[in-house]
Amino acid sequence: MGKGKTRYTCQNCGFTSIRWLGQCSDCGKWNSMQEEAVKTTLKSAPGNIAKVCPISDIAREEDYRIPSTLRELDRVLGGGIVPGSLILVGGDPGIGKSTLLLQVAAGLARGAPVLYVSGEESPAQISMRGQRVGALSNNLKVLASRDLMGIEQAVEEVKPKLLVIDSIQTMVHPDISSLPGSVSQIREVGAFFLEIGKDNELPVFLVGHVTKEGQLAGPKLLEHLVDCVLYFEGDQHYSFRIIRCVKNRFGSVNEIGVFQMEEAGLVEVPNPSEIFIAERPRGAPGSAVLTSVEGSRPLLVEVQALVSPTSFGQPQRMSSGVDRRRVSMLLAVLEKKAGMQLGFHDVYVNVAGGLTLSEPAADLSILTAIASSFTSKALPEDVALCGEVGLTGEIRGVPHLGERINEAEKMGFKKFYLPLVARGKVREQGIKLVYVESIGELLNLLF
């Protein structure tokens, strides 16, 4: 190793430079360059040279997956845990990452040894949580350590079928001079576990904290390295927790799994529609239900709106769970195309249950909830709607209508409003389908 050789690494984006820079020339962040010792590159041993071969000659492996014992998690992973895969689980502090992984570890420990490594909690704390979630098992081995060499030894000793690292930000690579959690540490620690996993066919879950901006701390480079990236989301004030997959080398992305945090840990919610519309007010203006599709999963969701005359100053426009700009656009369409004078009204829009809706298919329900509150007329309680609203007030097609309709029917809805362009493309079923072309037509039919 060159004596005293150092380089400067941006702690925000991982950019490296041989000189110190006040501002990173890659991501533009100020004061983010930190000096670190350079690691020598390894020369590959003579026997280690990889061979080139035609793709058709490669022996295919069976698509073997280990059930995680939580069906909602298996669904997100695309059918279970792939041996040797590296899975990153991100999420806000306190959302339940450690709880989830301890439950998975305990589930798998029923059949084989599992190693749970924590750099954040003491064995006593882990055991207390274990007791709460019913995870006390002889096969579940716990190691409170931050030292990679110790973990490597423990893996050799325990020969686990699953390794959990809680969290990557606390682990320390001995060759790296910078602090745990820094970009270089995370990069090397990530690469280390990738190697351990691939060498031993051992699936590894890595817990990662997210920054204030909602990004995984230790930037994108970690996401490039791992096979799957899962985000554990939820509102602190609600017990619902959603696992979302944003990268998956072995399955589809954007799949979600739904859990509820209870006294004894996370409980799966196999039928989320039921809970998200459970507290829906009946016969009250300002509420509309849509079937949102998350990944391939239809989910009934209630959108609420409150429109009231502005009593002072600027009209307020607030929304939670939907994009405020989308709401502004829908308000403009309502004013211009349906003649609703909303300019002197405060408008509040909320998605029940702390969910976030990002798909345009929610437009119709947002608009209807606003119109319903404005006119003080409630929608019939067995009505659901889906459709995108265009700037001329036209109602545009949305994907997955068949699944959306099925879900609404399954949950006892009797009428479904959908875009006219879908006529002939969806199967007529028990639920009554009402095709609408414009918001004028829709509002006439509804109110």
Going residue by residue from 258 to 287, which x/- string records binding to ligand TYD, judged by CB under 6 A? ---x-xxx----------------------
Q: Does 304 bind ligand TYD (CB under 6 A)?
A: no
- In whole angstroms, the minimum distance from the beta carbon of 93 to Mg ion comes to 7
The single residue among 11, 12, 98, 169 that binds Mg ion, judged by CB under 5 A, is 98
Stretch that binds Mg ion, among 16-24, 94-102, 311-319, 407-415 (CB under 5 A): 94-102
Q: Which residue is nearest to Mg ion (CB)?
A: 98
Q: Does 94 bind ligand TYD (CB under 6 A)?
A: yes
- Cα(297)–Cα(407) distance, integer angstroms: 9
The single residue among 33, 66, 77, 95 that binds ligand TYD, judged by CB under 6 A, is 95
- Cα(101)–Cα(384) distance, integer angstroms: 37
Nearer to ligand TYD, 126 or 364 (CB): 126
Stretch that binds ligand TYD, among 22-30, 128-136, 242-250, 287-295 (CB under 6 A): 128-136
Stretch that binds ligand TYD, among 129-137, 223-231, 299-307, 438-446 (CB under 6 A): 129-137
Q: Which of 267, 252, 6 is nearest to 132 (CA)?
A: 267
- Cα(314)–Cα(326) distance, integer angstroms: 19
User: Which residues lie across from 230 on neighbouring strands?
Assistant: 89, 245
- Cα(216)–Cα(168) distance, integer angstroms: 11
Residue 270 interacts with, from ligand TYD, Mg ion, none (CB under 5-8 Å by kind) = none
- Cα(168)–Cα(445) distance, integer angstroms: 55
Query: Which residues lie below 8 Å from residue 112, measured CB to CB, with a gap of 6+?
Result: 139, 160, 161, 162
Query: Which residues lie below 8 Å from residue 51, measured CB to CB, with a gap of 6+?
Result: none
Q: Does 128 bind ligand TYD (CB under 6 A)?
A: no
The greatest distance separating any two alpha carbons of the chain, rounded to the nearest whole angstrom, comes to: 80
Find the binding residues for ligand TYD in span 243-262 (CB under 6 A). Answer: 261
- In whole angstroms, the minimum distance from the beta carbon of 254 to ligand TYD comes to 22
- Cα(292)–Cα(50) distance, integer angstroms: 47
- In whole angstroms, the minimum distance from the beta carbon of 210 to ligand TYD comes to 10
Nearer to ligand TYD, 36 or 233 (CB): 233
| DSSP E strand boundaries for 79-194 | 86-91, 114-118, 140-144, 162-166
Q: Does 118 bind Mg ion (CB under 5 A)?
A: no
Nearer to ligand TYD, 265 or 285 (CB): 265
- In whole angstroms, the minimum distance from the beta carbon of 227 to Mg ion comes to 22
Q: b or e along 132-146 (b: 16 or more beta carbons within 10 Å of the residue's beta carbon)?
A: ebebebebbbbbbbe
- Which residues are at the interface with Mg ion (CB under 5 A)? 98
